[in-house]
Amino acid sequence: MPTVLLTGFEPFAGDTVNPSGDAVRAVAEKWAGPERLIVDVLPVTFDGATAQLAALLDEHRPDVVVSVGLAGDRSTVTPERVAVNLADARIADNAGHRPQDAAVVAGGPAAYFATLPVKAIAAGLANRGIPSTVSHTAGTFVCNATMYAALHATTGTPVRAGFIHVPWAAGTAPAGAPALDFADIVDAVELAVRVSLDVDTDAAAAGGELP
């Protein structure tokens, strides 16, 4: 039976909620399988997130890894295509750490491409009526570090891994921030997992935009 590791994040930067962590918990509550789903919420710290992810990979040996994080300036759900070996923080993480021009993995490749079917995920979300765009930058904060660490750990294996950014959830978003209904965010995450399990070859479609 395939195993899926699905992770979100705790609140950060003084916020009291993070829709990514809330969404993965909600997916766990409604998951009907038949695959085994492991869900966890990671700390928003460079060292803590990557260490916790490594421990989860070692313990559960998943076949698919889908990490989810908040991109509060985006209005669509954005499967990420590229993770870069760069930690360059605009703000401090929740441990007060603010790396500048640092490597996520010393001596690692400059970048990895997601091994999830990102275009098929975006197309599936659009067909469901959930706005989605393939993104070519996961940034240089903890989300990117987590994506890079997952791909570095699974490179050369059959494990498929990647990252999905979600907007704020309506009702908890800061004033003026773009947002989606929380139910749509939950559906988007669940669908991303389903497509990652079911689609072997990614969709052939244009996807050259930046979000």
- The residues that are catalytic are 80, 143, 165
CB of 140 closer than 8 Å to CB of 89: yes
| Strands lying side by side in the sheet with 64-70 | 36-42, 3-9, 64-70, 160-166, 78-79
3-state secondary structure 28-83: HHHCCCCCEEEEEEECCCHHHHHHHHHHHHHHHCCCEEEEEEECCCCCCEEEECEE
Closest among 194, 85, 210, 58 to 147, alpha carbons compared: 85
Q: Taking the CB of residue 100, how many other CB atoms lie within 10 A of it?
A: 8
Amino acid, res. 197: L
Q: Which residues pair with 168 in a beta bridge?
A: 179
Please report which helix (H) or strand (E) contains residue 120, including its range: helix 118-127
